[in-house]
């Protein structure tokens, strides 16, 4: 009797509970969905308005419709620097391509030096030597707290102020010249026998690989070590050198003074040098901090364990600390590489013909502002996405594999 | 619901901005109480802050003249320094009301940018400046020379045309800002520096040793520099055009900043010997201002504020200034120049 009553009460309670299920706006999940839908709708509405507004204004102002035909127009202007051949008769599209290559070139070189410099400074920052660690810290703080544009203008200004005039050029053996207009180097002109030389380089690299594998195997089997690195460096330098002397595959075009400039040879312009120095140094300070954070993140016990096993200090760093630190380092490093590419847009201020500068000129000559901005945005977006995806693949490999 | 309210407010706000931009520029200027004038980032004689930190120059005086015509007060101007690249976009987007920034009037700019060039306030041409000790006497001797130039200007293309026509093979070094280009030239990075001759004269004063730099005789282009307005607002275009014209007519009639009150008195409406055009210009008779949407003493206000064209020229860039430019093409039409105003009638 009593039990039946309890059951009935329980049933009633269950009934009321299902009836008083909270209204949907109290449900966190539903609320989340509603908020997201609302935000998306707002975004779509905003974009639709912007596009509508643009089209509307364009039809009223009877301005030209969006079209990329201007890319095939003759540019009629010259670039200060280009890897690919550009002339006054080149098409605007070709000029823009040259600008893209210039941007990538400067960013790649600057990224490379920034990584090395950043690694060195980051490790120096953690040095037990008080002087070294303070110097590294000062370097980082100074560089990180000065705007990049100022640094670039400084390096460029310093460079052209310090370098000698053309008629007072500094020279090394009348082959290499340095003056305000740049560093003039002999340019290699390859002959047919270059193939033998390239083969010898490839052979040396292949042999080095074989040696490294053999040495590793032997060390695992017998514990005996082999000076792999020095042996391989010797191999990779010596074999091609000997081949080079024998087949003589390259004729050097030496720069000669003619008129206002040096003619022939290969020129490294001060604008590009200043850009690369400025970008490398500025980025290296950020990378140094990332490297330091990565190393500090590795438990000190790892170092102690490694030293206890009898590994040298340098081995400890190379074999134990850095591989683990990389897991922490890589993700923020990706954004530094993205920054190098994006920061290179300041190049125009010191006279380097990067994409942003070339687009600026093209836009001014053709009046195609929207098209030019689309190209610009598309390029930087694509480059950024490519860099992130490559680095993400690398990150996946370096990341801790959890079991 | 809250989201919806914001959405409605945002859309309403954006729509409001869009309609505001389409209304007449004159109404916008009057409602704002000041003129937004797009000027150069700094070119001595044409538009640059002086030693008191106030903007001064030929183009600046045009801005002041427009403000005087609209408000009767030449100080109601806000100067917006714009780089060569920014200038036209800034005007198109309504960031400035007028561009008085030594901009060259060309067909493509006039037709493709949805802008109107309304008058020429300085007839210029592109030239080259070189270091004296280079020993160059003509631009044709600059074969293979490195030339510093500002990016985003007609200068770049003129240089290309001149190069191609004479097979000179210039090596340009291009900078975003003219002060960077000038500094690079000054340090010897470039053999030559090219821009409009007026610009060269202005830039020369800022070099380390101005006397050691010469402007070569070749003028490689026509550079009619003038104020620019948005396409389609004809009334505003008229106001800007006639502000410049008023200073020309004033010079022609010998009216100066100093004597404008006297001349106005001497040409009173009841004076049978008065000059009818002067009377109209100074708003004594007829109602010329009405057609422009301005008060009838607009012309008087302009001359009172900035003087006639000759005075403006001499004050900013004339032979007695460090810029030291001769009138040349910019003399009045009746003195062998090209500055010519249609009649005030």
Tell me the DSSP string of A320-347: IIHHHHHHHHHHHHHHHHHHHHHHGGGG
A·B CB contacts under 8 A? 140
Per-residue pLDDT at A401: 65
Question: How close are the terminal C-alpha atoms of chain A, in Å?
Answer: 57
Tell me the pLDDT tens digit for each residue of A13-62: 555 555 677 777 788 888 889 999 999 999 999 999 988 887 776 666 55
The answer to whether the Cβ–Cβ distance between B151 and A366 falls below 8 Å is no
Q: Which fold has domain B127-221?
A: D-Maltodextrin-Binding Protein; domain 2 (3.40.190)
Contacts of A276 (CB under 8 A, 6+ apart): A106, A109, A110, A113
- DSSP annotation string for A356-386: HHHHHHHHHHH--HHHHHHHHHHHHHHHHHH
B184 chain-A contacts, CB cut-off 8 A: 156, 160, 351
- Which residues does residue B103 pair with via DSSP β-bridges, in sequence order? B226
The answer to whether residues A270 and A159 touch, using CB atoms and an 8 Å cutoff, is: yes
Determine the residue of chain B that is closest to A181 in CA distance.
B189
CATH 3.30.420.250 fits B23-123+224-335, yes or no: no
Residue B19 is predicted with a pLDDT of: 39
Q: Identify the band that residue B8 occupies on the pLDDT scale cut at 50, 70 and 90.
A: very low
B109 touches A: beta carbon within 8 Å: yes
Q: What is the mean pLDDT of residues B237-241?
A: 95
Domain boundary assignment for chain B = 23-123+224-335, 127-221
- Mean per-residue pLDDT, A188-213: 86
Q: Give chain A's count of helices (H) and strands (E).
A: 13, 8
pLDDT at A202 over 80: yes
Strands (E) across chain B are located at 35-39, 48-49, 55-56, 77-81, 98-104, 115-117, 122-124, 126-131, 146-150, 171-175, 192-196, 213-215, 223-230
Confidence band (pLDDT; 50, 70, 90) for B9? very low
In this prediction, residues B208-231 reach a mean pLDDT of: 91
- Residue A215: which of A198, A206, A201, A228 has the closest Cα? A228
Q: Give the per-residue pLDDT at A376.
A: 93
- Which residues does B275 contact at the CB level (< 8 Å), separation at least 6? B253, B267
pLDDT for position B14:
46
The average pLDDT across A86-108 equals 92
Picking from A64, A180, A271, the nearest residue to B112 by CB comes out as A64
Report yes or no: B312 and B297 within 8 Å, Cβ to Cβ. Answer: no
CA angle B275, B280, B282 (to 5 degrees): 95
Range with the poorest average pLDDT among A164-173, A309-318, B264-273: A164-173
Q: Which of residues 219-238 of B touch A (CB under 8 A)?
A: 231-232
With CB atoms and an 8 Å threshold, state whether A259 touches B143.
yes
3-class DSSP state of B55: strand
Whole-number mean pLDDT of chain B? 88
- Which residues lie across from B196 on neighbouring strands? B126
Which residues lie closer than 8 Å to A53 by C-beta, 6 or more apart? B14, B18
Q: Would you place residue B73 in the very low, low, confident or very high pLDDT band (cuts 50, 70, 90)? A: very high
Can you give the pLDDT at residue A101?
94
Confirm if B59 and B46 have CB atoms less than 8 A apart: yes
CB contact under 8 A, A350 and B191: no
Chain A closest CA to B126's CA: distance in Å? 15
Kindly tell me the burial class for residue A88, based on how many C-beta atoms sit within 10 Å of its own C-beta (0-12, 13-18, 19 or more).
Answer: middle
**For position A240, what pLDDT does the model report?**
84
**Residue spans of alpha helices (H) in A20-129:** 28-61, 92-125
**Higher-confidence position of B252 and B153:** B252
Q: Does A49 touch chain B (CB under 8 A)?
A: yes
| pLDDT at A400 exceeding the cut of 90 | no
Neighbour-count burial of B82, counting CB atoms closer than 10 A to its CB (0-12 exposed, 13-18 middle, 19+ buried):
buried
How far is B273 from B69, CA to CA, in rounded Å?
Answer: 27
Separation of alpha carbons A313 and A87, rounded Å: 56
pLDDT at site A88: 86
| Cβ within 8 Å, pair A351-B157 | no
- Listed in sequence order, the residues at least 6 apart from B304 whose beta carbon sits closer than 8 Å to its beta carbon are B68, B257, B260, B261
Which of B11, B108, B181 faces A45 most closely, judged by CB atoms? B11
Residue A86 CA to residue A75 CA, distance in Å, equals 10
Instruction: Give bridge partners of residue A364 from the DSSP assignment.
Output: none
Bridge partners of B170, per DSSP, are: none
Between CA B80 and CA A102 the distance in angstroms is 32
Q: Measured between CB atoms, does B7 come within 8 Å of chain A?
A: yes
Residue B338 has pLDDT above 60, yes or no: yes
Task: HSE, CB side, 13 Å, CA atoms: give it for residue A164.
Answer: 9
- Rounded to the nearest angstrom, the gap between the alpha carbon of residue B245 and the centroid of all alpha carbons in its chain is 13
Whether the per-residue pLDDT at B6 is higher than 60: the answer is no
Percent of chain A with pLDDT over 90: 35
Angle at B150 between CA A277 and CA A170, to 5 degrees: 45
Contact status of A88 with chain B (Cβ, < 8 Å): yes
The DSSP secondary structure of B72-117, one letter per residue, reads S-TT-EEEEE--TTTHHHHHHTTS-SEEEEEEE--HHHHHHSSEEE
Q: Taking residues A262-285, report their average pLDDT.
A: 90
Cβ A261 vs Cβ B171: under 8 Å = yes
CB contact under 8 A, A260 and B175: no
- CB atoms under 10 Å from CB of A138, counted, come to 10
Measured in whole angstroms, how far is the alpha carbon of residue B166 from the centre of its chain?
A: 31
pLDDT score for A340: 93
Contacts of B85 in chain A (CB under 8 A): 360, 363-364
A292, pLDDT greater than 50: yes
B164: closest chain A residue by CA: A88
Fold of A92-186+254-398: MetI-like fold (1.10.3720)
Predicted local distance difference test score (pLDDT) of residue B18: 41
Residues 186-225 of A with CB under 8 A from B: none
Look-up of token digits 């600046």: B60
> For chain A, how long is the longest CA-to-CA vector?
118
C-beta atoms of B187 and A160 within 8 A? yes
- Among partner residues A38, A56, A76, which is closest to B161 by beta-carbon distance? A76
pLDDT higher than 50, residue B237: yes
In whole angstroms, what is the distance from residue A205 CA to residue B331 CA? Answer: 75
B152 sits in the region (left: phi over 0; alpha: psi -120 to 50; else beta) called left
A114 min Cα distance to partner chain B (Å): 25
Q: What is the model's pLDDT at position B17?
A: 44
Strands B171-175 and B55-56: unpaired
Kindly list the residues from chain A whose CB atom is less than 8 angstroms away from the CB atom of residue B18. 53, 56-57
The two tokens of residue A42 are 């707002």
Number of Cβ atoms within 10 Å of the Cβ of A152: 24
pLDDT > 90: what percent of chain B? Answer: 56
Is the pLDDT at B50 greater than 50? The verdict is yes
**CA–CA distance, A82 with A100 (Å, rounded to integer):** 10
Lowest mean pLDDT among A94-98, A360-364, B38-42: A360-364
- Lowest mean pLDDT segment, chosen from A80-84, A277-281, B200-204: A80-84
Query: Which A-chain residues 318-357 have CB contacts (< 8 A) with chain B?
Result: 348-351, 353, 357
pLDDT, average across residues B215-229: 92
Query: Residue A350: is its pLDDT beyond 50?
Result: yes
């Amino acid at each position: 009797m009593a039990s039946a009553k309890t059951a009935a009460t329980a049933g009633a309670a269950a009934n009321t509970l299902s009836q008083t299920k909270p209204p949907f706006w109290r449900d966190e999940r539903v609320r989340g969905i509603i908020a997201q839908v609302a935000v998306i709708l707002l975004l779509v509405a905003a974009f639709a308005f912007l596009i509508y507004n643009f089209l509307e204004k364009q039809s009223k102002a009877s301005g030209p419709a969006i079209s990329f035909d201007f890319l095939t127009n003759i540019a009629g202007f010259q670039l200060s620097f280009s890897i690919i051949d550009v002339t006054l008769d080149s098409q605007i599209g070709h000029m823009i391509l040259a600008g893209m290559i210039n941007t990538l070139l400067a960013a790649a070189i600057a990224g490379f030096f920034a990584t090395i410099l950043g690694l060195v400074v980051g490790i120096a920052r953690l040095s037990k030597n008080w002087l070294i660690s303070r110097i590294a810290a000062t370097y980082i703080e100074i560089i990180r707290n000065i705007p990049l544009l100022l640094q670039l203008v400084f390096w460029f200004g310093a460079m052209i102020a310090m370098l000698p005039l053309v008629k007072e050029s500094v020279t090394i053996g009348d082959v290499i010249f340095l003056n305000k207009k740049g560093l003039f180097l002999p340019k290699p002109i390859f002959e047919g026998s270059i193939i033998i030389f390239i083969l010898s380089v490839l052979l040396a690299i292949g042999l080095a690989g074989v040696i490294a594998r053999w040495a590793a195997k032997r060390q695992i089997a017998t514990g005996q070590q082999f000076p792999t690195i020095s042996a391989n460096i010797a191999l990779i330098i010596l074999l091609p050198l000997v081949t080079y002397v024998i087949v003589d595959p390259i004729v050097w075009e030496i720069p000669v003074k003619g008129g206002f400039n040096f003619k022939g040879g290969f020129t490294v312009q001060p604008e590009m040098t200043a850009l690369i120095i400025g970008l490398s140094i500025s980025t290296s300070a950020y990378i140094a901090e990332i490297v330091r954070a990565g190393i500090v993140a590795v438990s000190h016990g790892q170092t102690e364990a490694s030293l206890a096993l009898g590994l040298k200090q340098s081995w400890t760093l190379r074999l134990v600390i850095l591989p683990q630190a990389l897991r922490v380092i890589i993700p923020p490093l990706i954004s530094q590489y993205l920054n190098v590419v994006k920061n290179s847009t300041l190049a125009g201020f010191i006279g380097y013909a990067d994409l942003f500068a070339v687009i600026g000129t093209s836009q001014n000559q053709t009046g195609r502002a929207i098209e030019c901005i689309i190209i610009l945005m598309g390029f930087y977006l694509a480059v950024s996405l490519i860099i992130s995806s490559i680095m993400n693949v690398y990150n996946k490999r370096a990341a801790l594999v959890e079991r | 619901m809250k989201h919806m309210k914001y959405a409605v407010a945002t859309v309403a706000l954006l729509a409001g901005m869009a309609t505001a931009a389409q209304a007449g520029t004159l109404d916008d200027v009057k409602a704002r109480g000041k003129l937004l004038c797009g000027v150069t980032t700094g070119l001595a004689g044409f538009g640059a802050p002086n030693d008191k930190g106030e903007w001064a120059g030929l183009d600046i005086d045009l801005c002041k003249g427009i403000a005087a015509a609209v408000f009767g007060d030449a100080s109601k101007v806000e100067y917006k320094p714009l780089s060569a690249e920014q200038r036209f976009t800034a005007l198109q987007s309504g960031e400035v009301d007028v561009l008085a920034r030594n901009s060259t009037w060309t067909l493509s700019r006039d037709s493709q940018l949805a802008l109107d060039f309304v008058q020429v306030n300085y007839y210029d041409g592109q030239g080259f400046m070189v270091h004296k000790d280079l020993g160059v006497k003509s631009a044709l001797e600059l074969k293979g020379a490195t030339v510093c130039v500002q990016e985003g200007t007609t200068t770049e293309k003129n240089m290309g045309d001149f190069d191609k026509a004479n097979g000179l093979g210039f090596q340009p070094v291009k900078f975003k800002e003219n002060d960077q280009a000038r500094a690079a030239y000054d340090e010897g990075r470039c053999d030559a520096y090219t821009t409009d001759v007026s610009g060269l004269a202005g830039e020369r004063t800022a070099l380390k040793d101005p006397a050691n730099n010469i402007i070569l005789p070749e003028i490689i282009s026509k550079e009619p520099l003038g104020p620019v307005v948005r396409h389609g607002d004809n009334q505003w275009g008229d106001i800007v055009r006639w502000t410049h014209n008023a200073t020309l007519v004033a010079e022609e009639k010998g009216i100066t900043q100093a004597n404008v009150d006297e001349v106005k008195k001497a040409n009173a409406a009841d004076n049978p010997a008065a000059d009818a055009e002067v009377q109209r210009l100074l708003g004594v008779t007829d109602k010329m201002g009405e057609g422009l949407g301005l008060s009838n003493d607009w012309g008087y206000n302009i001359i009172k504020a900035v003087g006639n064209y000759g005075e403006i020229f001499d004050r900013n860039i004339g032979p007695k200034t460090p810029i030291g430019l001769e009138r040349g093409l910019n003399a009045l039409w009746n003195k062998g120049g090209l500055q010519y105003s249609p009649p005030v009638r």
